[in-house]
Amino acid sequence: MFKKLSLIFIAFAFLQNAFGQGTKVVGSIKDGQGNPMPAVLVLEKGTRNGTYSNVNGTYTIIVSSDNVTLLFSSLGYEKLELRAGDAKNIVMRDATVSLKGVEIVGTRSLNRSSTTTPVPIDILPVSKLAESKGQLDLNQLLQYAAPSFNSTRQSGSDGSDHVDPASLRGMGPDQTLVLINGKRLHQSSLINIYGTRGRGNTGTDLNAIPIAAIDHIEVLRDGASAQYGSDAIAGVMNIVLRNNTGQFTGNINGGTFMTGYGKSLDDKAVGAIIPKATDGANFNINGNYGFKLKNNSVISITADYLKKEKTFRPNNTKKFPDSDYRAKFGDASYDNASIYLNANFPLGKNGGLYLFGGYNHRNGDAFAWTRDAGSPRNVVEIYPNGFNPRIETKINDATATIGYKTQLKSWTMDISNTFGYNKFHYFGDGTLNASLEAKSPTRFDDGGFGMSSDVVNLDFSRSFAKVLQGLNFATGAEFRTESYNIFAGEEASWETYGPVLFSADSAFDDNGNFAGFDSIFRPGGAQGFPGFQDADALTANRSNIGAYADFELDIVKGLLATVAFRFENYSDFGSTFNYKAAARYSFNDKFVIRASAGTGFRAPSLAQINFRSTYTNVIGGKVVDAVIANNESELARAVGIAPLKEEVSSNFGFGVTANPMSNISITIDAYQVKVQDRIVLTGSFFDDDDAIGAALIEKNVAAAQFLPMH
């Protein structure tokens, strides 16, 4: 991959002299400690002509003369105004108050703030929020900090106990595109199945990214498929990693839940006041340090460890004597370890190599539903009082991006390759396979699934100051490949063995004398989470290519119009074309109105297209299958389920922003999103169903679920 990228970088280096006009101004930008500052906005005052400083803190801008005024701004630093002829060596000072950031999402222009953009954008300073909100994982932090964001912890929902489903603006977990440093982040391989919001959806595991590694997050609350591609129906979240140098920051956090206090009954501490019950304890330790290397190279590294214990809410059997259907339940426990890196390496005067990414490993443990002692799903020789099977997971998640960004005279070019990987491996513990009776093991390898993606991006952008009041043009292309696989568990995790001899009430005569044994099939597979069968195992691949064009034009003073177009072609379902238009009118410096309209799409994930699972059950003494059948299966075809295609949407937005006073900013936005061909998991269809029951019986299926489009 690196050899391929090197050849591409060399080829594009020949374009360095292809574009450009005007008077060139070159300068360097450093912070108060003398460190080079990348990504500082440099703007010609009164125009939309601008650029960013590169990874070694230098910038190049073409202006009409040395007498024009240049504006310099960066998140967390005071703004500067200097004559172009005097702007050779710039020092940025820390701001005494929090400054509005420069957005990446929603606009590719350099001269936009959250109240002047044509669409609503939130900037969340994560490090400050973490201090004030007391949350240790990213999903829960955003739940409390971002009104448009929602994340709920699940209990008794299989894989969803281990990855919190999250959504933006009330849409599905898979309808928000997540970026890291402006590059697409892969989705989780998990598809939400049982008792959870977003059933049938896939999403992004935000908790794989440690809070300590994040500088800020930009949230675009508007449909943006025409700009960024699939999944951006609800909006876009761009996670910007820390890139500081010369300073170590670290945190140790902990907490627990207490349900009141009472007196100890311990003889050694009679009368001592202790918590009646505690649970949900958590502990987090993290650290970040940025290394400044030769040639102004920067490497920022973050390590994070988070341990969370189960919440345990036992039923109050005195108040609810019939509520023993689940003896143990609550949030899952997990150990979550991450390491993330963000690095920049200057190459030449106007370009540089960048590298970022990280690895996360999580061990999860969650309660499944209680099996009573007398249940045929229990073996009393193993669990005399019944048992609570546990679902354990080992989750590995990794992402890495390498890219090259340079200035081709008046053009900015950015080429990159991003690889992402996610794997779920399930284990059952404290459980059994009832059909093996007393010979059953109590721990099983249940198999699992995984996915990977590889994305190559090539982007160009340029400002044209002399087109009306200023035009910013961006264009680019993307090539993405994806792979998804299901791997089987050990045989005992899913097989039904038998029949077995089982003594039942019917085995006794009217006088109570034992009359013998019944020969029946007992429920097979690991209780709590039956493993994936050999027949479920598969590997699926696809690729897609896309291209976009993005125009932002200041027509007259105060009036901005933007238009974006995107075309994509997928190897498994075909092509899609989307557009977006937005406008903003500024009456003055204090009041702005804005509106947007467009279309969007979301390609069905490979998990939605290919996921399948078979659970063997015993009904009326007969072994039958209960299945989640993918839309490519013979069963789906037999009952008339069509192959999946992309979800399509239309979105409209309108809002106003105001700055009535220097320290007050007000935004009010309304929106409407319509989605067609929504992919949602159905409930169960049984073999007595009037419409498809006969087809299920023919396939020896007692119950089936599907992922049709609505």
Mean pLDDT of 697-703: 85
Predicted pLDDT of residue 19: 40
Looking at residue 261, its pLDDT comes to 54
- List all residues 6 or more positions away from 87 whose beta carbon is below 8 Å from its beta carbon: 25, 27, 70, 72
**Residue 134 in this model has a pLDDT that exceeds 90:** no
Segment 588-613, tens digit of pLDDT: 878 889 999 999 999 999 999 999 98
| Least confident range of 266-275, 340-349, 597-606, 622-631 | 266-275
pLDDT of 13 reads: 38
Extract the runs of DSSP E, i.e. beta strands, from 64-182. Answer: 69-73, 80-83, 89-92, 121-124, 149-151, 166-168, 176-180
Q: Bridge-partner residues for 658, per DSSP?
A: 591, 666
Q: Residue 652: pLDDT above 90?
A: yes
Question: CA 104, CA 127: separation in Å to the nearest integer?
Answer: 19
Tens of pLDDT, residues 185-226: 999 999 888 766 778 888 899 999 999 999 888 888 899 999
Q: And the tokens for 41?
A: 């906005």
- Contact between 523 and 435 under an 8 Å Cβ cutoff? The reply is yes
DSSP state of 436: G
Spell out the residues 6+ positions from residue 19 whose beta carbon is closer than 8 angstroms to its own: 408, 409, 410, 411, 462
Question: Average pLDDT in the 31-50 region?
Answer: 78
Work out the percent of the chain whose per-residue pLDDT is above 90: 38
Q: What pLDDT score was predicted for residue 514?
A: 56
Q: Which residues contact 267 (CB under 8 A, 6 or more apart)?
A: none
User: Which of 76-80, 204-208, 354-358, 385-389 is predicted most confidently?
Assistant: 354-358
DSSP 190: -
pLDDT exceeds cutoff 90 at 381: yes
Confidence class for position 4, pLDDT limits 50, 70, 90? very low
What element of type H or E holds 467?
none
Burial label, 74 (beta-carbon count in 10 A; 0-12, 13-18, 19+): buried
The structure tokens listed for 276 are 């009646």
pLDDT in tens, 473-490: 999 999 999 999 999 999
CA distances from 115 to 42, 118, 656, 665 (A): 19, 8, 9, 8
Q: How far apart are CA 502 and CA 523, in angstroms?
A: 12
Structural domain that includes position 295: 2-254+264-604+645-679
List CB contacts of 661: < 8 A, sequence separation 6 or more.
none
Residue ranges of alpha helices (H) inside 280-436 are: none
pLDDT at 99 over 80: no
User: Helix, strand or coil for residue 139?
Assistant: helix
Contact 609/572 with Cβ under 8 angstroms? yes
Residue 421: Cβ within 10 Å count: 18
Residue 615: inside a domain: no
Q: What is the pLDDT of residue 8?
A: 41
Most confident of 104-118, 371-385, 496-510: 371-385
Give residue 269's pLDDT. 45
Quick one: which H or E segment has residue 226?
helix 225-228
CATH number at 451 reads 2.40.170
Rounded CA gap, 688 and 581, in Å?
51
Domain for residue 627, yes or no?
Answer: no
Determine the pLDDT at residue 11: 41
State the Cα–Cα distance between residues 509 and 491, nearest whole angstrom.
Answer: 38
What pLDDT was estimated at residue 703? 86
Give 399-445 pLDDT, tens digit per residue: 999 999 998 888 899 999 999 999 999 999 999 999 999 999 999 99
Give the helix ranges, DSSP H, for 593-653.
606-610, 634-638
Q: Does residue 6 fall inside a structural domain?
A: yes
Instruction: Give burial (CB, 10 Å; 0-12/13-18/19+) of 224.
Output: buried
Residue 329 belongs to a domain: yes
Three-class SS state of 634? helix
Q: Specify if 246 maps to a domain.
A: yes
- Give me the number of domains the chain comprises: 1
4 versus 179: which is more confidently predicted?
Answer: 179
pLDDT in tens, 70-87: 989 876 677 788 888 888
pTM of the model: 0.80
Domain for residue 697, yes or no? no
Q: What is the pLDDT of residue 417?
A: 98
Q: Is the peptide bond before 499 cis (omega within 30 degrees of 0)?
A: yes
Per the domain annotation, does 404 fall within a domain? yes
Q: How many residues does the chain have?
A: 710
* pLDDT score at 268: 45
* pLDDT number for residue 31: 79
Task: Report the SS3 class of residue 142.
Answer: helix
Mean residue pLDDT of the chain comes to 82
Asked if the structure places residue 231 within a domain, the reply is yes
Token pair, residue 670, equals 């309304």
Dist. CA 123–CA 101, nearest whole Å: 7
Q: What is the pLDDT, as a whole number, of residue 606?
A: 94
- Give 2's pLDDT tier (boundaries 50, 70, 90): very low
Most confident of 65-69, 195-199, 304-308: 304-308
Residues 6 or more apart whose CB falls under 8 angstroms from that of 515 comprise 507, 508, 509
Query: What is the pLDDT averaged over residues 118-144?
Result: 80
Exposure string over 309-345, b if 16+ CB within 10 A, otherwise e: bbbbbebeeeeeeeeeebbbbbbbbbebebbbbbbbb
